[in-house]
Structure formats: structure tokens, C-alpha cells
């Protein structure tokens, strides 16, 4: 049982502030933080478009094979994850935190946030399982 003076901590180990590792991680953080949002938005937009192209190409009649159908399902999952992340990043970075107004923190946006979290987990998990499924199909095709 926790003492009333104790606090919950998520730190596995403490790094001293004069540590080489701490300085290295801080330098990476200082460099990457300003570009993260823009890089994320760019990659989500490009990834969504590329996955859409994959879906269009892989669903053509002459391209319909079991492996290509699994790859199409993976592209669908990734498209949903990327597009949801694009909306999330754009809204919460440039609108909600920039203009702290109640309409940007409405019930609808709260529902979107919950949906985004669940879609991300389901989409990523589905892609991982589909990639394992691709491996199994390929093993049976080689046998």
C-alpha cells in the first residue's frame, strides 16, 4: 500500500542531469520537437494518398491474388490510421491548443479523440496480424 507522501512515478530509472545520455536525448528532443508536427502531417497526407493508390492498383481484376487481397486490407487499415492521425494532429495542434475556445473541446471532439485512439489500436493491430497472415499464405503457396 502506498504512503500518502509517495507519488506514482512512471520513471524506470533516474538519469542524472549531467549524464551524457541525458544531454544526447535532450539534444535530439530539442532538434526534433519543432519539426515533429509538420513532418507528421506531411507523412500522414502522403501515406494516405500512397495507400489509396495501392488499394486502387491491387483491386484490379488481374491483380486479385490472395496475397494482394491481404495487402489491400493492410492498406485499408493503414489509410484509416493515417487519415485519423492527420485530423487529430491538425485539429489539436493548430486549432484546439492554439485557440483555447470551448467549441474546440466539444463533446464531438471528445468522441473523435476516443474513436481515434480505438481506430489507431485496431488499425495497427490488424496490420500486424495481416502481415503475419501474409507470411502464412506465402508458406502454403511455396509448399
pLDDT digits (tens, 9 = 90+) for 83-111: 999 999 999 888 887 787 888 889 999 99
pLDDT of residue 99: 80
pLDDT of residue 20: 83
Which residue ranges of the chain lie beneath pLDDT 70? 1-11, 13, 15
> How far is 140 from 46, CA to CA, in rounded Å?
34
DSSP states of 52-106 as a string?
A: HHHHHHHTSGGG--HHHHHHHHHHHHHHHHHHHHHHHHHIIIIIITTS--GGGG-
Q: Residue 137: which residues within 8 A CB-CB, separation 6 or more? A: 66, 67, 70
pLDDT of residue 44: 96
pLDDT of residue 3: 53
pLDDT of residue 9: 59
pLDDT of residue 23: 84
Extents of the domains making up the chain: 20-142
Amino acid at each position: 500500500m502506498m504512503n500518502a507522501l509517495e507519488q506514482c512515478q512512471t520513471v524506470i530509472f533516474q538519469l542524472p542531469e549531467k549524464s551524457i545520455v541525458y544531454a544526447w536525448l535532450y539534444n535530439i528532443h530539442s532538434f526534433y520537437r519543432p519539426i515533429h508536427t509538420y513532418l507528421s502531417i506531411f507523412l500522414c497526407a502522403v501515406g494516405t494518398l500512397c495507400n489509396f493508390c495501392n488499394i486502387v492498383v491491387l483491386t484490379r481484376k488481374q491483380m486479385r491474388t490472395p496475397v494482394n487481397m491481404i495487402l489491400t486490407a493492410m492498406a485499408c487499415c493503414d489509410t484509416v490510421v493515417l487519415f485519423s492521425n492527420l485530423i487529430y494532429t491538425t485539429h489539436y495542434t493548430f486549432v484546439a491548443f492554439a485557440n483555447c475556445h470551448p467549441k474546440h473541446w466539444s463533446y464531438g471532439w471528445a468522441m473523435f479523440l476516443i474513436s481515434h485512439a480505438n481506430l489507431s489500436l485496431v488499425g495497427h493491430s490488424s496490420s500486424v496480424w495481416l502481415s503475419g497472415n501474409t507470411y502464412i499464405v506465402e508458406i502454403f503457396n511455396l509448399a
